[in-house]
Structure 1
Amino acid sequence: MANKRRRSSRIAGLWASAIASGYLFAFSTPAYSKTQELGFGSSSQSSENVQHLQIGDEFQPCDGCPTFVRVPAAPADLRNIRFVSKFELTWRNYLQAVKDGSCTVSNPNRPPFRKPQPDLINAHLDRLEIDWPITVLGPDDVECYIKWLEQKMPLDVEVPTHDEWKWFASSGRPSVRYPWGNDPGQAEEALTGLEGQPFESYTDARRPNGSDLTGREHYFYARYLHALKVGQFPPSPWGLHDLMGNASELTANVEPYIRSDGKADGSYRVITAGGGLIDKRWVEEGVNLKTYTIASDGQYSTYSSVRLVLL
């Protein structure tokens, strides 16, 4: 367990240390024994049982935890990823760690809403315990949640690198451009949500309570709920949802952020993947598309989610 704690505590620290290195960074993972008999909370699955799950099998380490899907063996140039989160990390997932006092929602005032209103989110945490991507976390919040989740199972929890994200987003098919195949003409059909609305229609009606929102509720949800409820887009062949079309997903790759005047101010930019398809570059680049968010003062410059992997 000590190895896991040391490894997990590196996540925010190594993102920050990459500033000084001046180049893209990808984690290396120390050895860790996966043979310990550790419980999985309410799921009561032992590490041995998890190791024997078949490709495509799912498990949930605890009530309210993310659901993970067993994936095929990764290529030799990637880490030994065993499971990938079925969905992006949700408010429901993260608030389990908040409710037991382990983590906080420390960055509820994402741009463009920079005026501090901590009481607003604290007063409505129960209303946010829903299956919506959480996109207001900062680096320390992500690290805190990973530490909390690792206590629930005998596997290492990580943020994927961009190469790892491309691998599972394409279901291990290097020649495939999109999660659904190679035909960009199928994009709108593939990315139409289960509600039957085109992917461009991110309307208030698709937030909780729909048109019944009061003015204050509308403001509340507009602040904290971005993208769409998870599972709205069809799964990949490996059973992973929302790989393209929903929220941008953080990766473990970072590089220094140089301002327009050529100076480095201690900020760094993180490569993100997937995301909403407003930027039509996805048509040409598909899963290879790289976008960026700037990490500064404990928060990200854009609304970014995260999809975790287990090693």
Structure 2
Amino acid sequence: MRAITYSEFGSADVLTLTDIPEPHIGPDVLVIGVKAAGLNPVDYKVRLGYLNPIMDAVFPIVPGWDVAGVVLKTGIDTPEFSVGDEVYAYARKDVLAGGTLAEQVAVPVRTLAHKPRSISFEQAAGVPLTGLTALQSVRRAGVGPGDRVLIHGGAGGVGSFGIQLAALAGATVVATASAHNHDYLASLGATPIEYGDGLVERALEASAGGYDVILDFAGGASLDGTQQLLRDGGRVVSIADARVVELGGVNLWVRPDAAGLAELAELIDAGKLSVEVSQVFDLADTADAYRALEGGHVRGKVVVRI
């Protein structure tokens, strides 16, 4: 089968379209015929070797953890699914090896849910990692009715879902982005503000008295003004900056979660959660897809169509 692989850590130049064997199936594993794979910043951080201290790598590596497709084979202990089911998954495994940028991928049943019926495979492939990250961040921060929430990185894949989920939880949301994305943030339910110099002043102008929750989906200097912006008893979660622990907050690493994906699918099919896909590339153009993502300032998700 065709797949994107790399045999050494490096830039997008190491990515190669090649033929590899079809995946094996285990008792609690399904083989998915891949229709689309979502790309995430963590993919290129993996490819650059940044995750070596916490994950073993087996070359050649097929990158990608997000997938939407159709069940081709079921394991002997996967009664939740049948051949032909349309599914999606955050298919992260314990070892870097068989990822989702391939015609087929073996997926643990614990990572898999039925695909939202109302959206395309390309849109569905843009949901799992970012949608689950946003959902778990909102839950870990205890976002609820009446909370004032500041989201750093509102226009990205995680931020786009975070705004909507925080608003659905009853919070009032302010989010940062560059000016050309402000209308987009407003359409998701947030008051947009510019990031960069003067952020603290703009954030306090948007929410006098500060914030009950800060969700950092951007990293960099985003957390610098946290102590000035967070109300007494406030909560802060970051997916991008370990300094959050020094501020009494949570450094979150998203977990695969089939129940969470099922919940997101219900919200999407109910019209309560929208999915933004900025660009779709063909499998042969995966390196260009990653270059687009690595360039930054991407609204929503970049997806590869298989």
User: If the length of structure 2 is used for normalisation, what is the TM-score?
Assistant: 0.26
> Which of the pair has the greater relative contact order for Cα pairs under 8 Å at 6+ separation?
1
User: If the length of structure 1 is used for normalisation, what is the TM-score?
Assistant: 0.26
More strand by share: 2
